[in-house]
């Protein structure tokens, strides 16, 4: 339901409002890079739709004046059960990029994730925030680069690494092919018109820095200064021979909290336990990789039943409402996470935008907890949900 389109971040009451505002602020190729997904985008839509196929069962007369929205994941306490999944290229969406998201996450006491393809250095993130931070690790063909990334995480005091396992090759993102999205954006007559129509965004583009990791800058521009599509980068640079032994080796080299991002099957969740992972993010990369994949929420119950007592299970993607989070936690997730929910807000309004997006979600969680008759999230159980 949308009565009118929001004109500023103060009008934005939910993720969809931020999406509309972001669309009006960004050149089309940039907006569609965030908004788009693979093939027919069936999985992208299904990730959210899955939450509509089940119902919450509240309790009443429970004395709910003071609610506590905190949870613990990988031994870290976070103040709300929803965190910022690592996403690439944030300074392409707003000049402050990862700085803005990290500061907003710190303000609300939640976990901030930065991508291997981030656009602010890990050291700067360390100086910017003192709350938990996680690095998303793409296993590259270049083993020296992989070792350097682990070292950078250590030097920048990162708390956790999330190894992404669903992006062994680039997904088929047809919106990016239509719009000609590349990084950096190509200067064509069409893109110049688009930049002229979005002057404030164009300044962000001109003054942005490229990648967090100098090695990636070097790799991406190897031999020339040509722009590359993200799909080409993922398909050519990442190690397609990666297997469970490599995942275990990365975990052992790192030695601190370790998470696998992109696990979808019960068998793989069990193997994650076997290699000593502390958490798994059930995720299909926001529908950006394998279209036709089942949604994280639909796999949650089976995975929690198999490994929920041995590993922290995080449900990633598709979350648009506080009730979605309460549904996932009722099934047994320790926390939820997502990318677009805060990226639209970043594009719409930088740090104040992301703060508003997180505040909206926190308010919804608090209100929904009261309406569910609980004061702590650990009180949620399968008795609070009817799965259809
Ligand atoms: C994406 C990658 C880069 O989804 O994470 O675009």
Best CA proximity match to 117, nearest among 233, 33, 39, 284 = 233
Q: Is the peptide bond before 105 cis (omega within 30 degrees of 0)?
A: no
Mean pLDDT value of segment 242-260: 98
Q: What would the two tokens of residue 232 be? A: 């080409």
Q: What are phi and psi of 281, to 5 degrees?
A: -100, 110
3-class DSSP state for residue 141?
A: coil
Whether 261 is in the pocket of ligand 1, judged by its Cβ within 6 Å, is no
CB neighbourhood size of 107 (10 A)? 16
Mean pLDDT value of segment 72-87: 98
3-class DSSP state for residue 316?
A: strand
Helices 296-307, 266-274: crossing angle, 10 deg rounding: 50
pLDDT at 181: 85
- How far apart CA 381 and CA 365 sit, in angstroms, is 16
Q: Residue 188 pLDDT > 50, yes or no? A: yes
Query: For the ranges 116-125, 126-135, 222-231, 364-373, which has the lowest average pLDDT?
Result: 222-231
Whether 288 is in the pocket of ligand 1, judged by its Cβ within 6 Å, is yes
- How far apart CA 339 and CA 125 sit, in angstroms, is 18
Q: What would the two tokens of residue 211 be? A: 């990648």
Name the band, by pLDDT with cuts 50, 70 and 90, for residue 224: very low
Residue nearest to atom 3 of ligand 1 (CA): 88
Ligand 1 atom with the shortest distance to the CA of 88: 3
State the sign of the Cα–Cα–Cα–Cα dihedral 291, 83, 81, 256: positive
Q: What would the two tokens of residue 220 be? A: 């991406």
Query: 381: Cβ–Cβ under 8 A, 6 or more apart, which residues?
Result: 330
Name the band, by pLDDT with cuts 50, 70 and 90, for residue 16: very high
**If you write DSSP's letter for every residue of 133-186 in order, what string do you get?**
EEEEE--BS-HHHHHHHHHHHHHTT-SEEEEE-S-SS----HHHHHHT--BSPP
- How far apart CA 221 and CA 333 sit, in angstroms, is 40
CB neighbourhood size of 177 (10 A)? 12
Residue nearest to atom 1 of ligand 1 (CA): 88
Q: Residue 307 pLDDT > 70, yes or no? A: yes
> From ligand 1's centre to the CA of 87, what distance in Å?
7
pLDDT at 210: 64
Mean pLDDT value of segment 172-188: 85
Query: 39: Cβ–Cβ under 8 A, 6 or more apart, which residues?
Result: 171, 172, 174, 291, 292
Mean pLDDT value of segment 274-291: 98
Residue 316 marked ligand-binding? yes
CB neighbourhood size of 199 (10 A)? 8
Name the band, by pLDDT with cuts 50, 70 and 90, for residue 287: very high
Best CA proximity match to 14, nearest among 48, 59, 50 = 48
pTM, full prediction? 0.95
Top mutation candidate among 115, 238, 281 for ligand 1, by most atoms within 8 Å of CB: 115
The whole-chain average pLDDT of the chain stands at 93
Name the band, by pLDDT with cuts 50, 70 and 90, for residue 207: low
Whether 117 is in the pocket of ligand 1, judged by its Cβ within 6 Å, is yes
Ligand 1 atom with the shortest distance to the CA of 86: 5
Q: What is the share, in percent, of the chain residues with pLDDT greater than 70?
A: 94
- How far apart CA 351 and CA 206 sit, in angstroms, is 19
Residue nearest to atom 4 of ligand 1 (CA): 288
Mean pLDDT value of segment 213-232: 64
289 burial via Cβ count (<10 Å: 0-12, 13-18, 19+):
buried
Q: Residue 52 pLDDT > 50, yes or no? A: yes
pLDDT one-digit tens code per residue, 363-374: 999 999 999 999
> From ligand 1's centre to the CA of 154, what distance in Å?
23
Residue 319 marked ligand-binding? yes
pLDDT at 1: 57
pLDDT at 12: 97
4 burial via Cβ count (<10 Å: 0-12, 13-18, 19+):
exposed
Which is higher by pLDDT, 372 or 218?
372
The position carrying tokens 């690494």 is 161
> From ligand 1's centre to the CA of 88, what distance in Å?
6
Tell me if residue 219 is catalytic: no
ipTM: 0.98
Query: 188: Cβ–Cβ under 8 A, 6 or more apart, which residues?
Result: 180
Residue 98's H or E segment, with its range, is helix 97-107
pLDDT at 225: 43
Name the band, by pLDDT with cuts 50, 70 and 90, for residue 223: very low
> From ligand 1's centre to the CA of 187, what distance in Å?
22
Whether 34 is in the pocket of ligand 1, judged by its Cβ within 6 Å, is no
pLDDT at 218: 67
Cα 204 to chain centroid distance, Å, stands at 22
pLDDT at 213: 72
Best CA proximity match to 285, nearest among 175, 136, 135, 125 = 136
In this structure, CATH architecture of domain 9-387: Alpha-Beta Barrel (3.20)
Whether 173 is in the pocket of ligand 1, judged by its Cβ within 6 Å, is no
Gyration radius of the chain's alpha carbons: 20
Q: Residue 219 pLDDT > 70, yes or no? A: no
- How far apart CA 73 and CA 119 sit, in angstroms, is 26
Q: Residue 71 pLDDT > 60, yes or no? A: yes
Residue 173 marked ligand-binding? yes
Whether 230 is in the pocket of ligand 1, judged by its Cβ within 6 Å, is yes
pLDDT at 209: 66
Mean pLDDT value of segment 9-32: 95
pLDDT at 246: 98
Name the band, by pLDDT with cuts 50, 70 and 90, for residue 217: low
Q: Residue 233 pLDDT > 90, yes or no? A: no
The active-site residue out of 20, 198, 285, 324 is: 285
pLDDT at 214: 67
Q: What is the share, in percent, of the chain residues with pLDDT greater than 90?
A: 81
């Amino acid at each position: 339901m949308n009565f009118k389109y929001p004109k500023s971040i103060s009008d934005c009451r939910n993720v969809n409002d931020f999406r509309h505002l972001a669309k009006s602020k960004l050149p089309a190729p940039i907006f569609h890079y965030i908004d788009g997904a693979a093939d027919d985008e069936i999985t992208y839509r299904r990730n959210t739709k899955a939450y509509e196929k089940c119902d919450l069962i509240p309790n009443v007369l429970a004395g709910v004046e003071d609610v506590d929205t905190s949870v613990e994941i990988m031994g870290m306490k976070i103040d709300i059960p929803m965190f910022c999944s690592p996403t690439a290229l944030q300074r392409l969406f707003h000049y402050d990029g990862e700085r803005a998201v990290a500061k907003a996450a710190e303000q609300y006491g939640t976990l901030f994730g930065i991508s291997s393809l981030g656009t602010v250095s890990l050291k700067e993130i360390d100086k910017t925030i003192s709350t938990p931070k996680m690095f998303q690790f793409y296993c590259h063909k270049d083993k020296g680069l992989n070792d350097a990334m682990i070292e950078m995480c250590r030097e920048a005091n990162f708390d956790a690494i999330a190894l992404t396992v669903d992006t062994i090759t680039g997904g088929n993102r047809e919106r990016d092919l239509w719009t000609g999205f590349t990084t950096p954006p190509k200067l064509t007559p069409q893109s110049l018109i688009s930049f002229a129509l979005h002057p404030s965004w164009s300044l962000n583009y001109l003054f942005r820095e490229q990648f967090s990791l100098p090695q990636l800058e070097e790799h991406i521009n190897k031999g020339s200064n040509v722009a590359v599509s993200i799909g080409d980068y993922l398909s050519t640079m990442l190690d397609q021979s990666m297997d469970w032994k490599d995942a275990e080796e990365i975990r052992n080299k790192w030695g601190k909290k370790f998470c696998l991002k992109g696990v979808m099957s019960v068998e793989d969740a069990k193997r994650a336990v076997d290699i000593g992972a502390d958490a798994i993010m059930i995720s299909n990369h926001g529908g950006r990789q394998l279209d036709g994949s089942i949604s994280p929420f639909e796999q949650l119950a089976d995975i929690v039943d198999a490994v929920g007592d041995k590993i922290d299970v995080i449900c990633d993607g598709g979350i648009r409402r506080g009730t979605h989070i309460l549904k996932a936690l009722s099934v047994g997730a320790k926390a939820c996470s997502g990318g677009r929910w805060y990226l639209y807000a970043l594009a719409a309004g930088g740090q104040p935008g992301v703060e508003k997006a997180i505040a909206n979600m926190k308010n919804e969680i608090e209100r929904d907890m009261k309406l569910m008759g609980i004061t702590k999230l650990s009180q949620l159980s399968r008795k609070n949900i009817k799965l259809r």
